[in-house]
Amino acid sequence: MPILFARVAVENTAYHFDKAFDYLIPEELLEQAKPGCRVLVPFGAGNAQRLAMILEVSPEKETQNTTKQVVAVLDEAPLLTNEAIQLVFWLKDRYFCTLFEAVKLLLPAGIHYRMKTEYALAKGRPVEKEALSKEESALIEYLAGKGKPVEREKLLKAMGLPADSPLPENLFKRGLLEKTGAAVRQIKDAAQKMVRLTGEESPSKLTPKQRAVCQVLQEAGAASLKELCYFAGVTPAVVNALVTKGVVCYYEAEVYRNPYDQVQDPAEEKEIVLSEEQQTAFQNLLAQYREETGGVSLLFGVTGSGKTSVFMRLIDEVLADGKNVIVMVPEISLTPQSLALFHRRYGRRVAVFHSGLSLSERLDEWKRVRRGEVSIAVGTRSAVFAPFDNLGLVILDEEQEHTYKSESSPRYHARDVAKFRCAYHKTLLVLASATPSIESYYYAQTGRYTLNQLPHRYGGARLPKVRFVDMNRELEAGNDSIYSRELLTEIEKNRKVHKQSIILLNRRGYNTFVSCKACGNVVTCPNCSISLTYHAANQRLMCHYCGYSVPFSTECPTCHENKVHYAGFGTQRAEEQLRELLPEVRVLRLDTDAAMTRFAYEEKLQSFARGEYDVIVGTQMVAKGLDFENVTLVGVLSADQALYGDDFRSYERAFNLLTQVAGRAGRGQYEGEAIIQTFTPENTVLSLAARQDYPAFYEGEIAVRKGMLYPPFADLCVVGFVGAREEKVARASEAFLQMLRTLAQAEYPQEPMRVLNPSPALISKVSNKYRYKLIVKCRNSRNFRRMISRLLTDFAKDRTFSDVTAFADINPDMIL
């Protein structure tokens, strides 16, 4: 038999020593150990068993006696294809993650194993009880009574020991206990009680089991309580403790194994009728797809121009060729209407990928794709990893949206992963938007992408009329409500003629900050450098970053005067005030607070479509993708908060948001109107968005980008530093800068870059961790990434800053 070695990615390795490790494949496992299969391997000085993924199997010329062997193969057949394995290495190179972090992206959360550790009394080893402590004696006696191995968690619970107790491990090292490890996985039915994270970061003081729960939720987005307890290896009490801390929250879910199981295959596919503009775009895209050379095309059309009809007609052609399609939308709130379109046309040939599904359902959808039972995957950014073997087309709808970029490691962008997959399959990537990113439009203008345009609305529908209301004059006239008199008049007119309205306020909660009239103090989060938001539903002040929450009190925590009041407006307050001002108007609020149950988005949108409400008041989730023919009025309550940010993309985001939300009006046979309330009506971005004049906006923005050397004329690499002591974090960022300067001058002088001095993050403290950033304007080349990778590795090895974490993010959507 040949001597073969497996090159594997090992779970839970640190970035600074991560690589593909070599293990000898024993003879009895040669037939099972294939690339793409998971294995157990001994790792580290203690040879603890770790989960690993085989990335390559190859013969070696020389066998070393010290080479460790694979212990077991866990999968009957490979989970990863050759394409997926190549993608793992690509993700590590591009996004500074470990190999196994990349592997986990490609697999559904429900399929992951966890390591189960069991302890038993060591055979043939006499126990000298006088040398044992009271706790050690009790543990030995407990295991002696059991007469069989006991799982670590059960053992600690039985002995009343904390989850991180070192007692069993210490007895094992002394030879008094035997330890065995195994990988276990079991998918259970979806349960009614679901769990998800409440904030962006967790408090620093969490037990190991609590951290395990958070890790599962970070990977999965949400999970049933039963599944979460299983995959994290905890009891419900651990989850309850996290709920008390405000780290996670419960929400109710219906019991579905497949929530779309009721979908029926269409009796007959209706022909899609295209306008002349749409037909031209379709023919161009079809011709590019037929070339089978790969490539990217930007489908740029005004809101309501029928971009969806164009790419659905293209999907028909791809499916007729026996190939598969991935369609991505930026967030769950857009999925229901997208799914309805695809289910009506393609029935059960559609698989769904988004975090609103349970772990079991996501695993089932992944299996359906692997088995070839479906032809189309529709979902949020995770859908880009749908395991199709014969991919023919990828569509990224609303391609400019920030949700396509992951904010945790691996910090990938779905657009870039889609480019990799389309290049591998030599097929077409279509980016669709009414307001494409500046970078995408630049690449379309300069020939890197092809460009197809739809400058008019479909079927004779016209763009909405837009008018501005100067809120300075409203205040002068004595109107201190969030609604202008003009907007209220139009909402009431709409109601009387049985038409509907959408109101955008991109800030949830009741009031946006709370302050003291006596001393002027703004009540802030003790863990983060951010003000607390008042939520009327639970009468509490909440931090939208760490989840900190306290009951509202009129007593100032600084001067103790009873003069604390709330100010600013959130969606809860906007909903309440509209009900007060127009009592007969039926108001539906749509934000993440109002849509906490599992199918809340779908249920609320369906009730609005049935005419049960006159007005939707919501955050940016109401601004994109929604298509209701009866909506003829859109109101924007606070356009200024989108305009004036600290990021170079602020104007771009404001233009996109205003253009998109105005485009929700007048999408059918009725004319539409948008009313934008602002304190700065003279701002040119507002007038350009009102006209939906993207080319004019682009010309001004691209000139600024070129002059300031921002994307697309340079790439941005942001190196972030996080730690508990601000002074230490600041010194760490300065030390990294010096390391960068030295290495760049010595070994990478050919790499063009401009480095900005380290500075505190925009929100400098989150969850009691201080944050600094270092910005490098660069060219995202392999050499540059290699240099940053070396710096991250060297920094992690420097024990001076062992309590400071450094990470790199290439072209982040938001600067830290």
> pLDDT tens digit string along 560-618?
888 776 666 778 888 888 999 999 999 888 876 655 555 566 778 788 888 889 998 88
* CATH number attached to the domain at 115-184: 1.10.10
Q: Which residue is it, tokens 């004779």?
A: 460
- Looking at 3.30.70.360, 3.40.50.1980, 1.10.10.10, 3.40.50.970, the CATH number of the domain 715-810 comes to 3.30.70.360
What does the pLDDT average to over 677-683?
Answer: 87
Query: Residues 235, 239, 240, 242: what is their CA dihedral angle, to the nearest 10 degrees?
Result: 140
Domain ranges across the chain: 4-113, 115-184, 193-252, 276-459, 465-512+568-705, 715-810
Rounded CA gap, 335 and 637, in Å? Answer: 26
546 known ligand binder: yes
Which range of 200-204, 484-488, 641-645 scores highest in mean pLDDT? It is: 484-488
The answer to whether 379 and 342 are in contact (CB under 8 A) is no
Give how far Cα 759 sits from Cα of 150, 286, 615, 729, 738, Å: 51, 49, 44, 10, 15
CA angle 221, 199, 108 (to 5 degrees): 10
Half-sphere CA count of 573, side-chain side, radius 13 A:
22
Q: Which DSSP symbol is given to 469?
A: E
Mean pLDDT of the chain: 85
* Residue 252 vs residue 438, higher pLDDT: 438
- Return the percentage of the chain with pLDDT > 90, whole number: 38
516 known ligand binder: yes
Query: pLDDT of 735-749, one tens digit each?
Result: 999 999 999 999 999
What does the pLDDT average to over 354-365?
Answer: 78
Can you give the pTM of this predicted structure?
Answer: 0.78
Q: Which fold has domain 276-459?
A: Rossmann fold (3.40.50)
DSSP string, 191-221: -SEEEEE-SSS--S---HHHHHHHHHHHHHS
> 341 is written with which tokens?
């379109």
Q: Which of 32-41, 196-205, 675-684 has the lowest mean pLDDT?
A: 196-205
pLDDT of residue 361: 80
Q: Which fold has domain 193-252?
A: Arc Repressor Mutant, subunit A (1.10.10)
pLDDT of residue 255: 45
pLDDT of residue 61: 54
Cα 683 to chain centroid, rounded: 32
Rounded CA gap, 152 and 155, in Å? Answer: 5
Superfamily grouping for domain 465-512+568-705: P-loop containing nucleotide triphosphate hydrolases (3.40.50.300)
| Same-fold call for 4-113 versus 465-512+568-705 | no
Query: pLDDT of 118-137, one tens digit each?
Result: 888 888 777 777 778 888 88
Rounded CA gap, 813 and 807, in Å? Answer: 15
pLDDT of residue 191: 43
The answer to whether residue 59 scores a pLDDT higher than 90 is no
Residue type, 767: S
Q: Domain 4-113's class?
A: alpha beta
pLDDT of residue 21: 93
778 known ligand binder: no
Which range of 145-159, 192-206, 329-343, 484-498 scores highest in mean pLDDT? It is: 484-498
DSSP string, 539-592: TEEE-TTT--EEE--SS-TTT--S-EEEES--HHHHHHHHHHH-TTS-EEEEST
422 known ligand binder: no
> 69 is written with which tokens?
């062997």
Cβ atoms within 10 Å of 550's Cβ, excluding its own: 15
The answer to whether residue 456 scores a pLDDT higher than 50 is yes
229 known ligand binder: no
CB neighbours of 174 closer than 8 A, spacing ≥ 6? none
> 741 is written with which tokens?
């300067």
State which H helix or E strand residue 114 sits in. Answer: strand 114-121
Per residue, the 3-state secondary structure of 607-643, as one string, reads: HHHCCCCCEEEECHHHCCCCCCCCEEEEEECCCHHHH
pLDDT of residue 692: 83
Which range of 189-203, 254-268, 766-780 scores highest in mean pLDDT? It is: 766-780
pLDDT of residue 256: 40
Residue type, 373: E
pLDDT of residue 547: 74
Give how far Cα 509 sits from Cα of 471, 513, 574, 647, Å: 22, 10, 9, 24
* Residue 442 vs residue 235, higher pLDDT: 442
What does the pLDDT average to over 55-67?
Answer: 75
Q: In 141-263, at which residue ranges do the beta strands (DSSP E only) sit?
A: 150-151, 177-184, 193-197, 222-224, 248-252
The answer to whether residue 385 scores a pLDDT higher than 90 is yes
pLDDT of residue 190: 41
525 known ligand binder: yes
Query: pLDDT of 11-57, one tens digit each?
Result: 989 999 899 999 999 989 999 999 999 999 998 887 888 899 999 99
What does the pLDDT average to over 395-408?
Answer: 91
Rounded CA gap, 539 and 483, in Å? Answer: 23
97 known ligand binder: no
CA angle 310, 308, 332 (to 5 degrees): 155
